[in-house]
Amino acid sequence: MRTSFFLLFFLAAVAVFAQESHSHRLGRVIQFPDIPGYKTVKCDFHIHTVFSDGSVWPDIRVQEALMDGLDAISLTEHLEYQPHRADIPHPDRNRSYQIALEEAKDHNLLVVRGSEITRDMPPGHNNAIFINDANKLLISDSINVFKEAKRQNAFTFWNHPNWTAQRTDGIATLTPMHKYLIKEKLLDGIEVVNDQTYSDEALQIALDNNLTIMGTSDIHGLIDWDFVGSQAQHRPITLVFAKEKTEAGIKDALMNRRTLAFYKNLLIGRNDFLIPLIQESLVIKRASYIGKSNVLEVVIENKSNAEFTLRNRSTYTLHTSHDIITIRPGTENTLQIKTKDRLQSAKLTFEILNAVNAPAAHPQVSWQVHVN
């Protein structure tokens, strides 16, 4: 990687700051386990650089993604909006992708070619990723540009449908044009999370219309300033459940709606992937009764970067805790459970408060605990 000494020093300092600002041992790198049958792939598919309205060169976006432990990114520059044109003229809209691809070639990071189609509402802003040539998307007609994206076998998704610049009430709402795009299979997904915002209404639109749930940073400045060093502590991402960690594998997962959004410690998505990820993240390490008592001690390890907040929904009550439990990232937590009788196994059920599977709804997840 051709990086100046100053930049290396800056990134190292930021890494130390981020590590210290987190109180758990996993630090900055976003980490989630695989689930049965799929690899958990960490992706950010809405990113900007100076080649549209961002503030950094494309290689910085690659370096930030490596620091966050991401598996795939897409630099989705605005096609129509080019505020730095006078300083950085570039007739080729693929240029930022080419620079990022060169920077990432010696690292385990996939760079997916993409662009942002920038329009008034409707249809608003939309991303097309896995495209072949961004220049061919410079089409004035708002329907034909989606058709061209699909000719290039793109995956398309609606960006920030709750953006107050285009929806003054902040409520994501389907327009007749969006209904047409969905009906004609020209629109595949929707951002439920964008930057610092989350939309219950966008989540409901995704569930009602069989759209892929997306979470993105839409980063324009520095990841460290906007997310890692802020209260959020991590960038919003899309967790993609792919059969293989390749561009083809990721695209197949996106097209088949195998995703969750991860945003401010919140996991958002369908139960088909939400529940397996939670079960793989929270692992029962051991369980045994305390002395001759009927109090079962259960040790749970959190193998993810999410801080889980659980509400006890089991038939048993807890001995040293109230019904709400916090399990911090990368740590073990010991629960004492009053089972009344000494059992060989016990079913523990919790409502996961830092996860949503529908607006204002939390999944319930169960573990069968075998007593040592």
Half-sphere exposure of 17 (CA within 13 A, CB side): 13
State both tokens at 27: 């630090």
**b/e sequence 109-142, b meaning 16+ C-beta within 10 Å:** bbbbbbbbbbbeebbbbbbbbbbeebeebeeeeb
Specify the pLDDT at position 27: 67
How far apart, in whole angstroms, are the C-alpha atoms of residue 260 and residue 303? 17
Quick one: which H or E segment has residue 193? strand 189-194
How far apart, in whole angstroms, are the C-alpha atoms of residue 248 and residue 234? 27
Using an 8 Å Cβ cutoff, are 2 and 203 in contact?
A: no
State both tokens at 290: 């305390």
255: left (phi over 0), alpha (psi -120 to 50) or beta: alpha
Quick one: which H or E segment has residue 145? helix 144-151
Work out the number of other CB atoms within 10 angstroms of the CB of residue 76. Answer: 31
Work out the number of other CB atoms within 10 angstroms of the CB of residue 143. Answer: 14
How far apart, in whole angstroms, are the C-alpha atoms of residue 65 and residue 334? 34
Give me the tens of pLDDT residue by residue for the chain, a chain 372 residues long. 444 434 444 444 444 444 433 334 456 899 999 999 999 999 999 999 999 999 999 999 999 999 999 999 999 999 988 888 888 888 899 999 999 999 999 999 999 999 999 999 999 999 999 999 999 999 999 999 999 999 999 999 999 999 999 999 999 999 999 999 999 999 999 999 999 999 999 999 999 999 999 999 999 999 999 998 777 689 999 999 999 999 999 999 999 999 999 999 999 999 999 999 999 999 999 999 999 999 999 999 999 999 999 999 999 999 998 899 999 999 999 999 999 999 999 999 999 999 999 999 999 999 999 998
* Size (the chain), residues: 372
Work out the number of other CB atoms within 10 angstroms of the CB of residue 178. Answer: 24
Kindly report the pTM of this predicted structure.
Answer: 0.91
How far apart, in whole angstroms, are the C-alpha atoms of residue 116 and residue 218? 11
Per-residue model confidence as pLDDT tens digits over 278-301:
999 999 999 999 999 999 999 999
Using an 8 Å Cβ cutoff, are 352 and 362 in contact?
A: yes
Q: What are the C-alpha distances in Å from 108 to residues 1, 101, 273? A: 13, 11, 24
Closest CA to 224 of 18, 23, 10, 53: 18
How far apart, in whole angstroms, are the C-alpha atoms of residue 310 and residue 327? 8
Specify the pLDDT at position 26: 54
